[in-house]
Structure 1
Amino acid sequence: MPSLSDHEHPLMTPAEVADLFRVNTKTVTKWAAAGRLTSIRTLGGHRRYRRAEVYALLGLGQSTGATQAAA
């Protein structure tokens, strides 16, 4: 079941994405430049990534509980 924080913070920082994939933050930036991820710029110019898009790239989808139950 998704936690409340998933709904409160649907955007992820480059560091959060990098930790999830176990890569460097520069790699995440390169993925965005290559079109693998869509980056959103904050008013301060920082990049953010949509949690649903990151999970889809990882192959988890949004409903990981349902996927695990079906397996």
Structure 2
Amino acid sequence: MKYRKKTGRLWLLLAAVTFLAAGYSMTAFGEEAIKSVSVTVTSSVEAEADEGTVSATANSSKYRVVSCDFAN
């Protein structure tokens, strides 16, 4: 019985810490709106021996952001 009480208190403590950390991160990053995003695509294309020409194009509308990380 004592084990269950300690486990329950641990979950409550973990939930409280998570809630406080999430609130802090929102205030830290939520103060300024993101105005622009820059995406850099780097590629390397090589042709095999005299097989013809190689062309590569990149269009920013072909890419989408799946996830992001904040760096200070």
Which category of TM-score, normalised to the shorter sequence, fits these structures? under 0.3
Point out the structure with the larger strand share: 1
Q: Whose RCO is larger (CA < 8 A, sep 6+)? A: 1
Point out the structure with the larger helix share: 1
Larger Rg: 2
Give the TM-score of the pair, scaled to structure 2: 0.18
Give the TM-score of the pair, scaled to structure 1: 0.18
